[in-house]
């Protein structure tokens, strides 16, 4: 057939080639069985069971997304709202849909792409429960292996069920800020969104850079296959050499640590391969385990990681809540602009009971191995001083109780322009550049923006690299270690610039460790 070209937006880079396959919305029987409130409870239970089953075999990043969905379904208030509607005379499916519509509407109305993309996760819950209510039915997700899947939108749980069969994702709508886009990037699975009216035909297609070519000619097919096999070969070589240190051709040794969210989902082998953990995002670790008010459990998480790391360093970031990181169970103010509000270290200093508890666990764990503590979203020296005073007080308290504890090195994340501009005076034991936040604040562009604002979000824009250079130079002058743990560290295209700036310590998503080490080996 003649070639048809659909242009959208890149959500995950790379080349995919394969047959097109349609993944339609799950059909929900029109004549839904109505068993009232008991049927709704059972259906919600089924949906939770399904999500748990998928989460059990998923990677860390995916399981976290599903755990959020499960927690949402487990919320009794939601179920009570739906049951109240049943009591008012609606059928169970009608009541469920009305209740979910009310939950989804505010997300759909969001101007922020990140939050708007969350509506897709909620619609998934709406449909899963509605399907369970209608007696389920055969799932229509059997796809030809190696296909490019076409759908209007794709919720994460359905993506996880089909990911092994697919070579690429082409969405008519979708969002580059959505959870599936994040998962696709971590898996090097090409993905395009906002493609418009793609019609699935029985033919081959090529997906690359936000563009879907249906029925490519022989030359285009050959080109796509060549790029695809180069990328696959590079991935295989990188995976085979994951344990080898990252040294450039000229002999420069580059440290590559990993970022961790849920320690239970990081294999021991990966911890052993890495140069340590450069960022433990405790707001995510604690959220999935409900550890916020449990000092003993927090201490056990750190101790166990130190043991598993076998003398490699563990850098723990104190709770970074607020902005793009909401946290259930901690009182947070409602703000007009939460990204410029009480978040990160600011919030923790305003909630000293929670902060003290985390510090007590950290000070105790620091006796067990090379632990370092890192403060997020620092703006001023006052915040570092106040944290040190709080840590000192906790240390005295622990000694008074006869517990063993010690003060670890305390570093700061460089994420605000204020911190970057004052690294020549800020007193900290190390600096770790959080380029995700630093880029959004330097460029005044939300980190999950779409459209023209997304184009501004360039971590290699001269304004950002100038800030990076200042931090590196200040660190070198003052003998303070500088590392970088934002997403740009995992981008092979950015590596030459980062190395030129003098950076030689990185921390990356664990799934990117092999690729980053390989990219380092290919540098002059
Ligand atoms: C960053 O901002 O670059 C960073 C590593 O922290 P997070 O992505 O968790 O905000
Ligand atoms: Mg950050």
Residue 379 · residue 342 · CB < 8 Å = no
Residue 249 φ/ψ, nearest 5 degrees: -60, -30
Residue 191 φ/ψ, nearest 5 degrees: -150, 135
Looking at residue 294, its pLDDT comes to: 95
Query: Which atom, in ligand 1's list, is nearest to the CA of 376?
Result: 6
User: What is the Cα–Cα distance from 389 to 387, expressed in whole angstroms?
Assistant: 5
Start-end of H helices in 109-256: 113-133, 156-162, 179-186, 218-240
Q: What is the dihedral of CA 146, 165, 62, 236, to 10 degrees?
A: -50
Residue ranges of domains in the chain = 4-26+140-217, 36-133, 242-521
Contacts of 132 (CB under 8 A, 6+ apart): 42, 43, 44, 46, 47
Q: What is the DSSP letter of 494?
A: T
Tell me how crowded residue 458 is: count the other CB atoms within 10 A of its CB: 17
- Options 208, 228, 394, 485, the catalytic residue: 485
Q: Which of 345, 376, 434 to mutate to test the pocket of ligand 1 (most atoms within 8 A of CB)?
A: 434
The CATH T-level fold of domain 4-26+140-217 is Glucose Oxidase; domain 1 (3.50.30)
- Options 179, 208, 228, 394, the catalytic residue: 179
Q: Which of 61, 319, 437, 440 to mutate to test the pocket of ligand 1 (most atoms within 8 A of CB)?
A: 437
User: What is the Cα–Cα distance from 271 to 150, expressed in whole angstroms?
Assistant: 36
User: Residue ranges of the chain with pLDDT lower than 50?
Assistant: 138, 140
Sheet containing 9-12: give its strands across.
4-7, 211-214, 204-208, 15-22, 147-151, 166-171, 191-193, 9-12
User: What is the Cα–Cα distance from 34 to 493, expressed in whole angstroms?
Assistant: 55
Contacts of 279 (CB under 8 A, 6+ apart): 257, 259, 260, 315, 317, 374, 432, 485, 507
Query: Which atom, in ligand 1's list, is nearest to the CA of 279?
Result: 5
**Angle at alpha carbon of residue 168, lines to 214 and 191, rounded to 5°:** 95
Residue 172 φ/ψ, nearest 5 degrees: -70, -40
How many angstroms separate the alpha carbon of residue 257 from the centre of ligand 1? 15
> Could you report the per-residue pLDDT of 74-84, keeping only the tens digit for each?
988 888 999 99
280 alpha carbon, closest ligand: 1
How many angstroms separate the alpha carbon of residue 286 from the centre of ligand 1? 17
User: What is the Cα–Cα distance from 353 to 178, expressed in whole angstroms?
Assistant: 34
Query: Which atom, in ligand 1's list, is nearest to the CA of 434?
Result: 3
Strand 204-208 relative to strand 211-214: parallel, antiparallel, unpaired? antiparallel
How many angstroms separate the alpha carbon of residue 484 from the centre of ligand 1? 10
Q: Is 293 a catalytic residue?
A: no
- Number of residues in the chain: 524
Contacts of 521 (CB under 8 A, 6+ apart): 241, 244, 246, 247, 248, 249
Which overall architecture, per CATH, does domain 242-521 show? Answer: Alpha-Beta Barrel (3.20)
Residue 482 · residue 472 · CB < 8 Å = yes
> Could you report the per-residue pLDDT of 279-312, keeping only the tens digit for each?
999 998 887 667 999 999 999 999 999 999 999 9
Residues having CB closer than 6 A to ligand 1 are 279, 281, 320, 415, 434-437, 485-486
Looking at residue 32, its pLDDT comes to: 54
User: What is the Cα–Cα distance from 466 to 486, expressed in whole angstroms?
Assistant: 16
Rounded to two decimals, what is the model's pTM?
Answer: 0.73
Q: What CATH number does the domain located at 36-133 have?
A: 1.10.274.10
How many angstroms separate the alpha carbon of residue 122 from the centre of ligand 2? 25
Q: Is 211 a catalytic residue?
A: no
Supply the DSSP string of 413-429, one letter for each residue.
EE-SHHHHHTTTT---S
Looking at residue 206, its pLDDT comes to: 93
Average pLDDT score, the chain: 89
Query: Which atom, in ligand 1's list, is nearest to the CA of 259?
Result: 5
How many angstroms separate the alpha carbon of residue 235 from the centre of ligand 2? 28
User: What is the Cα–Cα distance from 414 to 434, expressed in whole angstroms?
Assistant: 6
């Amino acid at each position: 057939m003649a070639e048809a070209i659909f242009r959208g937006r890149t959500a995950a880079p790379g080349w995919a080639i394969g047959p097109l396959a349609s993944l339609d919305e799950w059909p929900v029987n029109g004549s839904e069985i109505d068993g009232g409130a008991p049927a709704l409870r059972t259906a919600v239970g089924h949906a939770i069971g399904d999500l748990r089953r998928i989460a059990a075999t998923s990677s860390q990043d995916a399981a976290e997304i599903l755990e959020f969905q499960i927690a949402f379904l487990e919320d009794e208030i939601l179920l009570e709202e739906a049951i109240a509607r049943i009591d008012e005379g609606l059928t169970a499916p009608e009541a469920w849909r009305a209740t979910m519509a009310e939950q989804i509407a505010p997300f759909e109305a969001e101007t922020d792409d990140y939050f708007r993309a969350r509506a897709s996760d909620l619609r998934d819950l709406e449909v899963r429960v509605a399907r369970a209510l209608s007696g389920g039915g055969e799932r229509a997700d059997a796809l030809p292996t190696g296909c490019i899947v076409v759908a209007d939108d794709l919720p994460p749980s359905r993506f996880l069920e089909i990911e092994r069969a697919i070579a690429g994702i082409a969405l008519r709508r979708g969002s580059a800020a959505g959870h599936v886009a994040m998962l696709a990037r971590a898996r090097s699975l090409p993905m395009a969104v906002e493609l418009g009216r793609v019609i699935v035909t029985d033919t081959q297609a090529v997906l690359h850079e936000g563009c879907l070519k249906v029925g490519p000619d022989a030359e285009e097919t050959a080109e796509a296959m060549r790029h695809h096999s180069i990328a696959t070969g590079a991935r295989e070589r990188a995976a085979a050499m994951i344990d080898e240190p990252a040294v450039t051709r000229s002999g420069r040794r580059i440290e590559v640590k990993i970022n961790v969210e849920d320690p239970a989902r990081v294999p021991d082998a990966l911890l052993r391969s890495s140069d340590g953990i450069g960022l433990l995002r405790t707001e995510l670790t604690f959220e999935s385990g409900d550890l916020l008010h449990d000092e003993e459990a927090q201490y056990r998480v750190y101790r166990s990681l130190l043991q598993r790391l076998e003398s490699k360093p563990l850098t723990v970031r104190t709770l970074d809540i607020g902005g793009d990181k909401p946290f259930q169970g901690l009182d947070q103010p409602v703000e007009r602009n939460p990204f410029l509000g009480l978040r990160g270290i600011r919030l923790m200093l305003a909630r000293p009971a929670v902060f003290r508890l985390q510090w007590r666990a950290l000070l105790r764990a620091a006796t067990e191995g090379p632990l370092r503590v890192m403060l997020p979203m620092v703006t001023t020296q006052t915040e570092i001083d106040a944290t040190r005073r709080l840590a000192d007080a906790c240390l005295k308290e622990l000694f008074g109780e006869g517990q063993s504890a010690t003060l670890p090195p305390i570093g700061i994340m460089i994420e605000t322009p204020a911190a970057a501009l004052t690294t020549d005076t800020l007193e900290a034991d190390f600096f770790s550049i959080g380029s995700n936040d630093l880029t959004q604040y330097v460029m005044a562009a939300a980190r999950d923006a779409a459209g023209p604002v997304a184009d501004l979000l360039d971590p290699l824009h001269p304004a950002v690299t100038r800030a990076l250079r200042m931090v590196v130079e200040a660190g070198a002058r003052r003998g303070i270690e500088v590392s970088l743990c934002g997403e740009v560290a995992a981008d092979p295209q950015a590596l030459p610039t980062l190395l030129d700036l003098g950076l030689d310590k990185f921390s990356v998503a664990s799934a990117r460790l092999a690729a980053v080490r390989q990219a380092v080996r290919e540098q002059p």
